Amino acid sequence: MKLRRFVALISVMVLLAAACGGGAETAVSAQKDVTIGLQLEPPTLDLTTSPAAGIPQVLLYNVYEGLVKLDEAGAIQPLLAESWELNDDGTEYTFSLVEAQFHNSDPFTADDVVFSINNVIGEGSEHPFKETLSSIRSVEAVDDRTVRITLSAFSANLLFFLTQGQGVILNQNAIADIATNPVGTGPFMFDNQVPGDSITLVANPDYWGTPAPLEQVTYRYINDPNALNNAMLAGDIDILAGVSAPELLESFEGNSDFEVFTGLTNGEVTLAINAANPPLDDLRVRQAINTAIDGQAIIDGAYFGYGTPIGSHTTPLDPYYVDLTDVYPYDPDAARALLADAGVEDLTLRILLPPVSYATRGGEIVASQLEDVGINVEISNVEWSVWLDDVFNGDNYDLSIVAHVEPRDIGQYGNPDYYWAYDNPDVAAMLAQADAEPDEATRNAIYSDIQRQITADAANAWLFLLPSLSVTKAGISGFIANAPGLSLDITQLAFNP
């Protein structure tokens, strides 16, 4: 009965969402082009091989679409699937598809859904988020407009993960050039990329749904936050998305020429601890690191007071969030005692920091706090490509700082091969149990226990929740302040100066 109630609720939500979306009207934009300033350029446009958040930031919902999408409030809405049904035991989804075509004029059919999902879950796949769709046993085309996905067991998170990059529908005939010329079904088409400078999208004249108000969107990549700020003040860009130097916001606040947005994200700014490297495999050492860190000092010093303390790998946007910020209160004396109990002296750790201000500034503060309790820290500031090679893929690090912006990614603590090498079979089992639990209250209770366990294990040190800080010129509408997923959704942007 619990599962049937869950299915019924999902069905009602889908019908309501479809009814609300069906009457959407095209916004009018007097200015047809907009330039968005960003800091982090994607290392590739192939989101099937790279976990870089900059790729779905540009492409998800804009160029690529999935069966479903995540709206600003974090609710799941229909997209390429106009509706779907779930069978009584929750192991079979049947999706009814819209009529659409890809940017190269190929028709979108159920075969494309089969190809795209198998591209993620198939044997030999190196998709960075393959594990999130591991509940899928098979996917088949019933006919051109109908797809059936069969699960090995009910998965509470499947639809959610299908809203993200691993759920996008790819064109089989364009897969060879996916790294440089992405082809999707979305309201925008990829136009060109100038490496080190920009990516340009143009409106899709044959879009199957509500067309975008803009005809062209250019993403300008400016790595230095001060230069990015100056470009906005000079009028060279129209939207500054993801302000990484919050102290610069005062240049725009109170100025009627601009609008400042403070939104929510899923970005847990995490001090990652590589448990594969002794003595970091010792619980007492990891607990000492957690206890040596003053999180509020990092928020104040690295992010100008913006940010919310968190004590585990979840955020207040998650339905199962538990406040665990009191588990490791700042206590340098306790940290020294834990290190002494572990027999650790003259410890030197190497921290690799990617090129974002919360990491580079936060790394300096973390290093100072750890050195205060007797842990020497060697800082290496590296480019994203090096970070991906040495940290994410190579496990060639001791500590690192990065915002885990992928939504509901607590499941990575069930993967011992993930880059922080956390290995607790009990947590892996609880994660599987939670995903297979149809009753929301029971499921959230399990996730709460998981949070408490990874925190007790000091799997990492969680510094703060990254806010979504942005600035637009006056006259911009349709800008989404919250970032519940990875997409910078430009499909409703309009500019009427």
pLDDT, position 263: 86
pLDDT exceeds cutoff 50 at 9: no
Q: What is the pLDDT of residues 245-265, one digit of tens each?
A: 888 898 899 899 999 998 888
Length of the chain as a residue count:
497
- When pLDDT is cut at 50, 70 and 90, the band that residue 25 belongs to is low
pLDDT exceeds cutoff 80 at 20: no
Backbone angles phi, psi at 279, to 5 degrees: -90, 20
Residue 106 CA, chain-centre distance (Å), reads: 30
pTM: 0.79
Answer CATH for 2-15+42-183 from 3.40.50.720, 2.40.10.340, 3.90.76.10, 3.90.1170.30: 3.90.76.10
Average pLDDT over residues 456-472: 95
Q: What is the pLDDT of residues 30-76, one digit of tens each?
A: 999 999 999 889 999 999 999 888 999 999 999 999 999 998 878 89
pLDDT cut 90: percent of the chain above it: 81
For residue 83, what is the enclosing H or E element? strand 81-86
Q: What is the pLDDT of residues 353-408, one digit of tens each?
A: 999 889 999 999 999 999 999 999 999 999 988 999 999 999 899 999 999 988 88
Q: What is the pLDDT of residues 184-210, one digit of tens each?
A: 999 999 999 999 999 999 999 999 999
Residue in the structure block whose two tokens are 């994200």? 265
pLDDT, position 7: 38
Which residues are CB-neighbours of 1 under 8 A, at least 6 positions away? none
> How many CB atoms within 10 Å of residue 329?
11
Q: Chain-wide mean pLDDT for the chain?
A: 92
pLDDT exceeds cutoff 50 at 22: no
| More confident position, 395 or 217 | 217
pLDDT, position 8: 32
> How many CB atoms within 10 Å of residue 238?
23
- When pLDDT is cut at 50, 70 and 90, the band that residue 26 belongs to is low
- When pLDDT is cut at 50, 70 and 90, the band that residue 484 belongs to is confident
pLDDT, position 264: 82
CA angle 405, 409, 415 (to 5 degrees): 130
pLDDT, position 13: 39
Structure tokens at 177: 């050039």
Q: What is the pLDDT of residues 141-165, one digit of tens each?
A: 999 999 999 999 999 999 999 999 9
- 268-465 classified as CATH 3.40.50.300: no
Domain-wise residue ranges, the chain:
2-15+42-183, 268-465
Average pLDDT over residues 426-437: 95
Compute the half-sphere exposure of residue 163: CA atoms within 13 Å on the CB side of its CA.
Answer: 21
